[in-house]
Amino acid sequence: MDMDWSAEDRDFIRELRAFLQAELTDDLKAAGRWMTSVYGDHEASMEWQRRLHARGWAAPAWPKEHGGAELSVTQRYIFARELARAGAPPVSPMGIGMCGPALIGHGTAEQKAHYLPRMLTGEHFWCQGYSEPQAGSDLALLNMRAIRNGSDFVCSGTKIWTTHANVANWIFCLVRTSQQDRPQKGITFLLIPMDSPGITVRPIIMSSGEHIQNQIFFDEVRVPVGNVVGQVDDGWTVAKYLLEFERGGSAYAPGLQVRLDRIREMASQGPAPLIEDPVFAAALADAQIRIDVLEVFEMRVLSIAARGGRPGTNGSAMKILGTELSQHLTELAMEAAGPAGLSFQPDAGVSGGPNVLPHAAGVRGNRDAAIAPLKYLNDRAGSIYAGSNEIQRNILAKAQLGL
């Protein structure tokens, strides 16, 4: 891929930077700069999505016919890099980044016309109903039932670890519509309004005190058959397509680079800067090399997508490399924070939900050091969500190496 910016790309950079200068308020910058979990603060994310949508940039990769920006692969990399450097908060990926591509690839014309515009405006805020207590990374073991009854499916069961189910008004679910010879068969991809009678959402409070995850209970919830995406009993096809985008639909490297730069800055402070330690300096250099390698790989994957291809197993590789490198950066940040990173200061960070544990209000000392342990603990989930990294390695071993 030719990384010399074209005149058009340079114009896009100037246009994007001007937009960020005008629209990225101090509050939005703070929500991005100090976030500690995978997802940003809900209100800040929605406000940022509203501003992006007004400019036509809420869905950079979507086709223009569906309201997207249809940016080139180079422009999408530029977009991710500039937003990361500016400290913009993330937009929730559940709708625009996951369900949206699934609808574009497998939905009916009516479904696209109804759901996609509402995803862009934020009128519909989505959560993902995949994992169950006995079916997480081994997702095909799910057994939430959906029984056909006239023009509806009647759904009963539970979903767990559902991010932002407490604020979402729609959920895309995988449900069991039949029992067949293989567990992957008989699964259907279904869109369910969260205000349906029979739905109960219960919070899962993390050991850190944060309320981001939830468990959802479905008690004979009626859902129109017209809410099926793809074919009944063939939802696994849609799910695999969606997971490719969840695991490899965006670039990790720009955000990782910003975080590494902040670790360097933190390690350069104090009377005996840690960055002068040759062992720690070597660790920073190693992290920089890994980010550079990941960036090249991501550009290749995005180039494939720009030519109409799909992430495929490259998405699994990106998920492994990106999440494990992210976890490594949290370890370097903890080392750079030193004793200043030992206290519990949830107010120092901006998480994806409120913290319900008692704690002293305010922030004491270096804020980067204070958020280091919060980010470290939250990022432990990175190698588990979207299919554990062990599962991703199995996928690569089978599909790429024939093992």
- Which residue among the candidates 47, 132, 246, 295 is catalytic per the annotation? 246
Q: Which residues contact 46 (CB under 8 A, 6 or more apart)?
A: 122, 125
A 10 A CB-CB count for 391 gives 18
209 Ramachandran zone, left/alpha/beta (phi>0; psi -120 to 50): left
Tokens of 258: 């910003």
246 among known catalytic residues: yes
Alpha-carbon distance of 165 to 90, in angstroms, equals 18
Tell whether the torsion through CA atoms of 45, 86, 117 and 97 is positive or negative: negative
Instruction: List the beta bridge partners of residue 126.
Output: 170
CA terminus-to-terminus distance, the chain: 31
Backbone phi, then psi, for 134, in 5-degree steps?
A: -110, 5
Query: Which letter does DSSP use for residue 277 in this model?
Result: S
Alpha-carbon distance of 281 to 196, in angstroms, equals 55
The owner of tokens 């030992």 is 342
User: Which helix (H) or strand (E) is 244 found in, with range?
Assistant: helix 235-248
Provide the H-helix boundaries in 124-226: none
Q: Which amino acid is at 176?
A: R
Alpha carbon of residue 319 to chain centroid: 11
Q: Which residues contact 242 (CB under 8 A, 6 or more apart)?
A: 98, 99, 101, 102
Q: Are 356 and 256 in contact (CB under 8 A)?
A: no
Q: Which residues contact 84 (CB under 8 A, 6 or more apart)?
A: 254, 255, 257, 258
**Catalytic (active-site) positions:** 246
